[in-house]
Amino acid sequence: MADANSRIRIVVEGELESPARLALDRLQQALDQRGFALGDDAAAVTIRVGSAATQDLAATLASARAPLGDAPESLALAFASGTLLIGGSDDRGLAYALREAARRIDLASAPLDWATLFPPTSESPFLRKRSVCIFPHNAAVDGPWYFNPAFWEAYFDKLSLYRFNAFSLTFGHQTAYLVPPYAFLVPMPEFPDVTVPSLTDEQRERNLAALQMISRTAVERGIDFTFGVWQQHSYEYGESLVEGLSLDILADYCELGMAKVLKACPNISGVQLRVNSESGIEAEDCPAFFRSIYSGVVAAGREIEIDCRAKAIADDTWEGALDTGLPTTVSTKFWCEHQGMPYSAGLLQDFDRMDRRHSYGDLLKYPRDYDFLFRMWNLGTNKFTLWGDPAWVRRYAESCALGDSKGFEVCAPLSNKGFRNVGGAWTLFQPEDMNWYEFEDERYWFWYLLFGRLGYDPNCDASAWEREFQHRFGSDAAADVLEAVAESSHYLPFITAAHLPSASVFGWWAERDTGGLLDAYLEVEPSDLAGFYGASEYVEDYLADSVRARLTPTQIAERLERHAAAAEAALKRADTSVSDAARPEFRGIEADVRLCSGLARYHAHKLRAGQDLAFFYLAGAADRLRSAKVQMQSARDQWQAIVDHTDGLYDDEMIFGPVKDEAGTWKRLAPYLDHDLARLDEVQKIFDRFGLFADGFDFGAQPVDPRPWIPRTMQSALVERRFRAVSPDVQYTPARGIGWKMVRDIRAFSPPLPDNGDLLGRNREVGDLAVNLLESDFQHRGPNPGYVEHTFRANVAPGIYDVTAVMGDTSPDAVDRGPMWLTFQGRHQTDRFTIPAGQVIRKSQRCNIANGRLEVEINSHPASDWVINALIVREAAPQIGHVPTRNAAPGSLNLSATVTAPDGIDSVDLVWRCGDCPWQRTSMSADGAVYSAGITVPACCDAAYYIEATDANGETRSWRSADAPQPVAVGDAESAPSLDVERVALAVPGQDLTVTARVDSAEELQSVTLYYRDLNQRELFTPVPMHQANGAWSATIPGMDIVPDWDLMYYVEAIDRLGNGSIGPDMDVETPYVVVPVQR
């Protein structure tokens, strides 16, 4: 007989349902593995188990300082007087408590200290729904686990342990595989002409048995099961596997199929539907079609929740669901089709703002009869790397209560593996010893733990995961492994918020993508315009002296590098102490941490390169072009380090989306980085040849206008930057300012436009990339012209200019062009000349454009043809390019400017002063076209400056002037205001609402502004200047803007005189806006 000290007596009070019974089995298993004997004899510890229905147990828990909450799924644990008390408000809550107790016993050190292991604990769920979704995509990839009962038992045990309460198995995510699912699950003799030739009756029966098994296994463990059907036919996502299913019978077929599946699977309690055109149903037909589907749900004869996905949903569609009387939910994407910041974006990209598409939009309007749910499409951002940041998930869970939402659904790691049933089975890692698990989902235990436990309780104690790390990696390494994972997990959501080339799950893969060719990269917008700057927009605002307190590309880069360095340092420390037994799992963590940290460093360099290049394009600062090349070379070197790290480590043909651009590895994308460097060399050559100029025109075909979410650069990908595009149909008018006098008989050639995948630097097979932008496209006269001459006109400020024409045919089928000639301003005519095929020549003429209009006549013999690629208009005087310095710390200040002139530069001077002191003149030294000088500014006053240049002919021009110099605020340039923004508890419709904020700043404040709008993303924020009184800043939101339809939200922005800005609340620690309930 076992010693009494090792005996446990378990007392179950009341009847247990399946979830609690299975959890009790798990507790008994944990005790058995620790060597305890179970029985009714004298025991060292008694374990009392029961639900709230057992009043005596509930009272005992309360007296042990662990009161059992009334909310569904609540739990309580306590050890008192030799008894472990385990209670739940219902069977699901009790199951959570039992599994929690079992896991603590699993991981506790010997001997067990029961009192320490089980302090009084009372917990209730913060979110009503905490769901995870899996998409079947590939027969070879899914087969080993999909039909395996052991997998599903372990999987739902895990979900229950981590306190998920719902699961969706979703068919038809932009694929023809298993679409529509009814055809692959149930016999449909009512439609004899509809068949699946590749499917036998036995296979169909096996499919249905698997769905029945999976849904039953989930419910047995307290997990609500949802049947997701995102496509009703194959649509445009591949050749249909179902024959005979025509559109005229589709609604009837799908209605009956839905009813049959639900009747055959009684454990299904929810149906999730995509209700836009991606379902295969045209938008105008959706309301009527889905009423048929709802009828199929009703025909099941039990209560089943209808979950309508929000993208492009029509009011009629959800109203049809409500009309059934069944519980109805509208579920929306949390952050586009990606994982961004842990709060809903404050300001969406403009193309998205007016659509129900990628966030909550206008759907949080009151009153509403439907429930609301946030779905995070983390599978767009985080496809395969280990991810786990407790602080992020904690804030995300809190954000999923926005607008009385009931919770969230997240997409399981590896969700799109083997997309569209392409390719065979493959493992993530090539080294066999790194595949230490039976099923790949096991490596993502930390991800499941965080979303489940923190979704249940955002205040969950960190010991819930810290003890897991200690168990797996040893007490010496655990904290460092955890830190490495958490710090590297900063990269994916942060870069997605700061730089989102595509909102689509299939348009941006942050674990692998380059982010776009550099000319496109600098145009890419953030996915939250309220908190982040893209490179081009920041440069535009900086040059206009209108910078907001959003994170700049430089600040974004610094954060990426800071977290990457922290992750790498923690990983290095962990490597010295991790146990040998944990090495296989640790090697997988090491692989992913090094990958994500490397990508963070890559983007840090490329963000700086993009910002510098934008400054060159918009301000003519050649020193910024130089620094862009340095940063881009560093980005290329970092990418090579990623290639070296990943080559032979991950599978060479990872497929997580369309094979064209969502498959393959980092090595395949390296040519895009080489192109970026070559492109910068090309930009440098154009600058070296033409310097700065007043205007430039690039002649080619009509610029394409692709989808609206494509960056601006991509709409004119063959136009050389700093030049304006001129297409053959642009006819001059004085208001337009540029164009042809007549557009008749003008033809154009342009090389093939790189497709979006190439412009975004992500195609598995790199296509033809645009090179030699200025000379590769051109315009010429058409055949049999009615007119042999054509005149180009452009409005130009009166002055003396050198006008240079660039001409030549370098197309694949190039021919000689000419004899032709040019006439400038109607008086300066060139000799007649011929341009051999494949060559490019330049002709220049100095012109006095006194009337403010440039005219270049291009002519040729009627039997020949003319050609024009570009025109460059350079004033015969110094041109100055400069990025203004607006603030500086006391001490040395270096200033640089780019200065060029057709006839050469004689001198460049920096003219400056501090305070009211006399102007001083300092000669600027030349390094090529870049001139620089250093001055010293004292702390006692601000400074001002302007730049003056004189060419070899004595022509002088200045950037700014003594009458309008550039001011420089002198102070602590690193400081930024800190804000404490009032959290208003309630707003009343029609009544003015005053908001206050306290702002601490080391420098004088330039502005403090309140921004507000309804909880409706279609609206833009309204700014209201705040005024200071009694140590606080305040502003009033007019009562007319407070309505019962929506709750209210606001934030405060403070900018000091140095231009340093902050937003409150602080995005680093909390949601960067305040949401105020409106009284109803």
Q: Is the pLDDT of residue 707 over 60?
A: no
Three-state secondary-structure class, residue 953: coil
Rounded Cα distance, 567 and 593, in Å: 7
pLDDT at position 977, please? 95
- pLDDT bucket at 782, cuts 50 / 70 / 90: confident
pLDDT for res 752: 84
- pLDDT, residue 43, reads 85
Instruction: Identify which of 45, 21, 165 has the alpha carbon closest to the alpha carbon of residue 94.
Output: 21
| For range 703-711, the mean pLDDT | 54
Concatenated DSSP letters of 344-372 = --SS--HHHHTSSSSS-TTTT-SS-SSEE
Q: What is the mean pLDDT of residues 1019-1036?
A: 96
pLDDT for the residue numbered 1: 35
Q: How far apart are CA 658 and CA 652, in angstroms?
A: 15
pLDDT score at 774: 93
Q: What pLDDT is stored for residue 490 in this prediction?
A: 98
Q: How many CA atoms lie within 13 A of 677 on its CB side?
A: 14
CA 948 to chain centre: 45
Residue 716 pLDDT greater than 70, yes or no = no
> Looking at residue 861, what is its pLDDT?
85
User: Mean per-residue pLDDT for 799-803?
Assistant: 97
CATH architecture type of domain 978-1076: Sandwich (2.60)
The pLDDT of residue 312 is above 80: yes
Of 202 and 752, the one with more pLDDT = 202
Tokens of 476: 């010496």
Q: pLDDT (tens digit, 9 = 90+) per residue, 229-281?
A: 999 999 999 999 999 999 999 999 999 999 999 999 999 999 999 999 999 99
Average pLDDT over every residue of 393-409: 97
> Confidence class of residue 66 from pLDDT cuts 50, 70 and 90?
very high
DSSP strand pairing (738-740 vs 724-726): unpaired
Angstrom distances, CA of residue 815 to CA of 699, 751, 811, 863: 18, 15, 8, 14
Q: Return the exposure string of 442-471: e unless at least 16 CB atoms fall within 10 Å of the residue's CB, then b.
A: ebbbbbbbbbbbbbbbbebeeebbebbbbb
Inform me whether the pLDDT recorded for 3 exceeds 60: no
What pLDDT shows up at residue 271?
A: 98
Mean pLDDT computed over 55-77: 95
Flag whether pLDDT at 351 surpasses 90. Answer: no
Per-state percent for the chain, helix, strand, coil, to nearest 5? 35, 25, 40
> Residue 438 pLDDT more than 90?
yes
pLDDT mean over 946-960: 98
Q: Is 710 a residue whose pLDDT tops 60?
A: no
Within 8 A by CB and 6+ apart from 853, the residues are 793, 794, 795, 796
Average pLDDT over residues 320-329: 97
pLDDT per residue over 825-879, tens digit each?
999 999 999 999 999 999 999 999 999 999 999 999 888 899 999 999 999 999 9
Whether 77 contacts 101, CB under 8 Å? yes
Q: Where are the domains of the chain?
A: 4-123, 129-416+445-456, 485-685, 693-875, 879-970, 978-1076
Mean pLDDT (whole number) for 618-633? 98
Is 559's pLDDT higher than 70?
yes
Mean pLDDT value of segment 188-202? 97
Mention the CATH class of domain 879-970. mainly beta
Can the peptide bond before residue 180 be classed as cis, meaning omega within 30 degrees of 0?
A: yes
> How close are the terminal C-alpha atoms of the chain, in Å?
67
pLDDT digits (tens, 9 = 90+) for 108-145: 998 999 999 999 999 999 999 999 999 999 999 999 99
Q: What is the mean pLDDT of the chain?
A: 95
Q: Which homologous superfamily is 693-875 in? A: Galactose-binding lectin (2.60.120.430)
Q: Average pLDDT in the 485-511 region?
A: 96
Name the band, by pLDDT with cuts 50, 70 and 90, for residue 787.
Answer: low
**Is the pLDDT assigned to residue 769 strictly greater than 70?**
yes
Angle value at C-alpha 492, between 489 and 497, nearest 5 degrees: 130
pLDDT at 2: 46
C-alpha distances (whole Å) from 258 to each of 214, 216, 290 are 17, 18, 11
pLDDT tens-digit readout, 726-755? 999 999 999 999 999 999 889 999 988 888
Confidence grade of residue 703 (pLDDT, cut at 50, 70, 90) = low
Say how far apart CA 604 and CA 597 lie, in whole Å: 11
Do 879-970 and 978-1076 have matching folds? yes
Topology of domain 129-416+445-456 in CATH is TIM Barrel (3.20.20)
List of E strands, 680-745:
695-699, 724-726, 738-740
Average pLDDT, integer, range 192-208: 97
∠ CA 815-819-821, rounded to 5°: 120
* pLDDT tens digit sequence for 754-765: 888 999 999 999
What is the homologous superfamily of the domain 4-123 according to CATH? Chitobiase/beta-hexosaminidase domain 2-like (3.30.379.10)
Tell which residue, 740, 751, 844, 854, has the closest CA to residue 791.
740
Q: Per residue in 599-613, pLDDT tens?
A: 999 999 999 999 999
Q: What percent of the chain has pLDDT over 70?
A: 98
pLDDT at 655 over 60: yes
- Return the minimum-mean-pLDDT range out of 108-112, 128-132, 326-330, 1004-1008: 108-112
